């Protein structure tokens, strides 16, 4: 994960220098999806897996947006020869307060904080028992939207996030790096 964070910061610095007319603001809706990697906390599974996110929100002002999101993440650890497969699946539902900044016209960096619930955490060990539990979840993230096209209705989205949850009587924090697309809904 140490390499992913500096790479994300480098990308963020490069894009903030590009000037143009930002695509989101007061009265606009937004939908999108992200895909990337999640580093599971060692309390759950010390492996890196895939993450898929669906999100949608509404901009109450140029600065503030309320957003709902569904996260699913998965990793399979095949282990040593003779060791059975371990699958870890995580699903979460969150509501985020998003703060959007407008340093230039095509670039919208943001920070968000959210709360919700981890819907399912399934640790299956081949022929062994499955363990499912749900619990509270929280999230903190930062990222940037890079709008393109004449109408600035679509953007590439880069995000680094920390997803915390409490299941199996243990607090875990999972780190994710995602890339996705977002579409603006509403007036110009």
pLDDT tens-place string over residues 3-12: 445 555 545 4
pLDDT value at position 48? 85
Q: Residue 52 maps to which CATH number?
A: 2.40.160.20
Give how many domains the chain has, as a whole number.
Answer: 1
Q: Tell me which residue has tokens 């199996």.
A: 168
Higher pLDDT among residues 25 and 113, named by residue: 113
DSSP 103: S
Condensed to tens digits (0 to 9), the pLDDT of residues 104-136 reads 778 999 999 999 998 766 666 656 656 677 889
Q: What is the mean pLDDT of residues 55-66?
A: 94
Domain span at 173: 4-185
Phi-psi region of 161 (alpha: psi -120 to 50; beta: other; left: phi over 0): beta
- The whole-number pLDDT of residue 123 equals 65
| Residue 187 pLDDT > 70 | no
Picking from 155, 187, 174, 175, the residue whose alpha carbon sits closest to that of residue 32 is 155
pLDDT at 131: 67
Which residues, 6+ apart, have CB-to-CB distance to 154 below 8 Å? 23, 147, 148, 181, 182, 183, 184
The strand pair at 64-77 and 170-185 is best described as unpaired
In the chain, what is the straight-line distance between the N-terminal and C-terminal CA atoms, in Å?
A: 38
Residue 6 confidence (pLDDT): 52
Average pLDDT, the chain: 80
DSSP 84: P
| Distance of alpha carbon 15 from alpha carbon 34, whole angstroms | 18
Angle (nearest 5°) at CA 62 between 174 and 14: 60
Token pair recorded at residue 124? 């299956």
pLDDT at 79: 57
Q: Which has the closest alpha carbon to 92: 106, 113, 71, 77?
A: 71
17 has pLDDT over 90? no
Mean pLDDT of 84-92: 77
Longest dimension (CA), the chain: 59
Retrieve residue 170's tokens.
């243990």
Q: Residue 61: helix, strand or coil by DSSP? A: coil
The predicted structure's pLDDT at residue 45: 73
């Amino acid at each position: 994960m140490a390499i992913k964070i500096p790479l994300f910061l480098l990308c963020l610095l490069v894009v903030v220098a590009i000037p143009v007319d930002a695509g989101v603001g007061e009265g606009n809706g937004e939908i999108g999806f992200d895909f990337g990697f999640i580093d599971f906390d060692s309390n759950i599974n010390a492996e890196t897996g895939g993450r898929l996110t669906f999100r949608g929100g509404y901009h109450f002002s140029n600065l503030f947006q309320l957003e709902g999101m569904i996260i699913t993440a998965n990793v399979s650890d095949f282990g040593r020869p003779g060791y059975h497969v371990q699958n870890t699946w995580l699903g979460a539902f969150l509501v985020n307060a998003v703060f959007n900044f407008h340093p230039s016209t095509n670039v919208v960096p943001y920070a968000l904080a959210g709360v919700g619930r981890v819907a399912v955490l399934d640790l299956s060990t081949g022929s062994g028992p499955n363990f499912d539990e749900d619990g509270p979840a929280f999230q903190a993230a930062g990222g940037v939207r890079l709008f393109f096209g004449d109408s600035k209705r679509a953007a590439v989205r880069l995000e680094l996030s920390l997803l915390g949850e409490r299941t199996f009587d243990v607090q875990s924090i999972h780190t994710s790096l995602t890339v996705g697309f977002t579409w603006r809904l509403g007036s110009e």
